[in-house]
Amino acid sequence: MANPPEGSPEWAAQDKGPYTIAICWAVTAFSTLFVIARLYVRGKIMGKLQSDDWFTVAAQVSAPAQSEYRPSPLLACLCDLCTCIGWMVMLSVLLSR
């Protein structure tokens, strides 16, 4: 099966890029709300932020850079590292309870 020419109606029907980007940004917005709620609960209600909270914020900030921008391999590596550390810290906190 040959690929349709770019810009044709057949090509536009197969292009899922805008839909995929919209879903990615919706999930990012949803997860950002959860991070904000976590910071509110831990900071205002419990009165203290801990290291896992800061790693969660760092992972949330680096999430769009991982999926969309990636201007340099070094930034991509730092974003991946930050996300991995954030997940490891969160998992260790959950498993230690």
d(C-alpha 68, C-alpha 79), whole Å: 12
- For position 21, what pLDDT does the model report? 72
- For position 97, what pLDDT does the model report? 65
Q: What is the pTM of this model?
A: 0.57
d(C-alpha 95, C-alpha 97), whole Å: 6
What does the mean pLDDT of the chain come to? Answer: 76
Q: Is the pLDDT of residue 14 over 80?
A: no
- For position 48, what pLDDT does the model report? 87
Query: 21 versus 48: which is more confidently predicted?
Result: 48
Query: 28 versus 63: which is more confidently predicted?
Result: 28
Max Cα–Cα distance, the chain, nearest Å:
61
Q: Are 55 and 89 in contact (CB under 8 A)?
A: yes
d(C-alpha 79, C-alpha 95), whole Å: 24
- For position 53, what pLDDT does the model report? 84
The predicted-structure confidence for 60-97, as pLDDT tens digits, reads as follows 877 766 665 555 666 666 666 777 777 777 777 777 76
Provide the residue type at 47 as one letter. Answer: G
